[in-house]
Amino acid sequence: MLDKAKTIRVLAYKQLTGTISAEEQRELEEFSQISVANAALVDRLTTNAGIQSIFTDYEAADKVWQGEELQLTPVVPMRKAVNYRAWYLTAAAVLLLLLGASIVYYYLPNQTVIPDQSVLVQSNTTDLPPGSKRAVLVLSDQSRIDLDGTGTGVIGQQGSATIEKLSDGSVHYKPGGDYKDAGLQTLQVPNGGYYALQLADGSRCWVNAGSSLRFPAVFAGTERRVELTGEAYFEVAKNSRQPFIVTTERGHEIRVTGTKFNVNAYGNEPAERTSLIEGSVIVTAGKQVKQLTAGRQAVWARSTGALSVGQAPVEASTRWMRGQFSFNRASLPEIMRQLARWYDVEVVMPDNPGKSWQLQGAFSRDIPLRELLTILKRYDESVEFILEGRKLVVKTTGDQ
């Protein structure tokens, strides 16, 4: 894989400098024909004017392109030969998972992106930007602090805990000496937002769009209990004498003493998933109890009520924290639910869209909605996206 990656970088550099042979040109073009991801990669390496003006030798080019990884066999069947220069328009970072290997197509954030005008029918609307760091903190007296509109420094006091907003935008609860309980607080993250929080015990939480976390200002009792609606990633400070417990909207519990894990418990998803990155946790769903070790995942299925344990897609389960959507054989409705939360858009689509999508991969969360829909459209040209204000209508072949 690495040798092939280096070969493609060398060939791209030779094309940039006009030193590529006819045989090497054919090799580069054959590689670009394998998939849309490869086509976009080759195009980006060979047509970006900024890169052309910078590089004077292969070593310099190779340093910048280091980390570009390739797709060596087709994943999405190609309907026709691809003009890889046209795929310059494909601007999202796409991860295609093939036979367990991660093949990454990186988005260059300094590139100018031109969405395909034929993809969407827009009606008096502008594009929708990606989500951003925003949330509301509801204190125990029900007063509210709009965090994205609040400056840094001390922003409140709850019992013995001081609430401080740091320069990176995160909020920290810092306990005083007496650990006086000041009631429950709630971090509300709307659709189109995300936020980071440090609890009074030093545990850190990252809360995803369309989620909320309820917690005490200080942990004064024998346990550290928080309530989650939606999705959050936790890095729990170790304290074996005071276990940390996450309760989901359905009443399920994740009990830990110190560990790193992600909980996806959105009410409109068909399953709740607890993915363990480090340490160990105990997951309880009714009378069912499962213990997880690092790299394992507990899945509670809404359709059957069964709690099962399997291998955790560790990287995929936390990609949202690193600015990516992650799809694992995702259906079209599943993808649209993620887009609805992140772009704060109402999705209108048939109950049974008639499309058996199984999309595996990741897409950048840092691009406007229209650009991401452009890429999804290229995955399946029979799907039509119509964006009208904050409503996204999805139509598939055969829909009326």
Q: Among 83-87, 153-157, 168-172, 222-226, name the one with the lowest average pLDDT.
A: 83-87
- Matching residue, tokens 């259906």: 331
d(CA 37, CA 14): 21
Q: Work out the pLDDT band at 206, boundaries 50, 70, 90.
A: very high
Q: Work out the pLDDT band at 191, boundaries 50, 70, 90.
A: very high
Q: Work out the pLDDT band at 24, boundaries 50, 70, 90.
A: confident
- Matching residue, tokens 């409109």: 268
Q: Work out the pLDDT band at 379, boundaries 50, 70, 90.
A: confident
pLDDT at 54: 36
What is the mean predicted confidence (pLDDT) over 5-14? Answer: 76
d(CA 234, CA 224): 13
3-state secondary structure of 36: helix
Q: Work out the pLDDT band at 236, boundaries 50, 70, 90.
A: very high
Q: What angle do CA 368, 74, 31 make, to 5 degrees?
A: 90
pLDDT at 233: 97
What is the mean predicted confidence (pLDDT) over 160-174? Answer: 93
Domain boundaries 120-127+323-395, corresponding CATH code: 3.55.50.30
Q: Among 48-57, 72-81, 144-153, 208-217, name the one with the lowest average pLDDT.
A: 72-81
State which fold the 132-317 domain adopts: Jelly Rolls (2.60.120)
Domain boundaries, the chain: 2-105, 120-127+323-395, 132-317
Q: What percent of the chain has pLDDT over 70?
A: 72
Residue 90 has pLDDT above 50, yes or no: no
d(CA 67, CA 65): 6
What is the mean predicted confidence (pLDDT) over 125-134? Answer: 86
Q: Which residues contact 90 (CB under 8 A, 6 or more apart)?
A: 36, 39, 40, 374, 375, 378
pLDDT at 92: 29
- pLDDT higher at 51 or 237: 237
d(CA 47, CA 54): 13
Q: Work out the pLDDT band at 78, boundaries 50, 70, 90.
A: very low
How does 18-29 read in b/e, with b if 16+ C-beta sit within 10 Å?
eebeeeeeeebb
Instruction: Convert the pLDDT of each residue in 326-366 to its tens digit.
Output: 887 888 899 999 999 999 999 999 877 656 777 877 788 98
Two tokens, residue 346: 């109402």
What is the mean predicted confidence (pLDDT) over 25-38? Answer: 73
Residue 65 has pLDDT above 80, yes or no: no
Q: Work out the pLDDT band at 42, boundaries 50, 70, 90.
A: confident
- pLDDT higher at 363 or 122: 363
How does 134-163 read in b/e, with b if 16+ C-beta sit within 10 Å?
bbbbbbeeeeebebeeeeeeeebebbbbbb
Instruction: Convert the pLDDT of each residue in 253-311 to its tens digit.
Output: 999 988 999 999 999 999 999 999 999 999 999 999 999 999 999 999 999 999 999 98
Q: Among 60-69, 146-155, 177-186, 372-381, name the one with the lowest average pLDDT.
A: 60-69
d(CA 288, CA 7): 52
- Matching residue, tokens 């054989």: 329
Report how far apart, in Å, the C-alpha atoms of 220 and of each of 182, 204, 205 are: 10, 18, 19
Cβ–Cβ under 8 Å, residues 200 and 174: yes
Cβ–Cβ under 8 Å, residues 231 and 264: yes
Q: How far is residue 172 CA from its own chain's centroid?
A: 24
Residue 192 has pLDDT above 80, yes or no: yes
The DSSP letter of residue 192 is T
Q: Work out the pLDDT band at 36, boundaries 50, 70, 90.
A: low
pLDDT at 31: 80
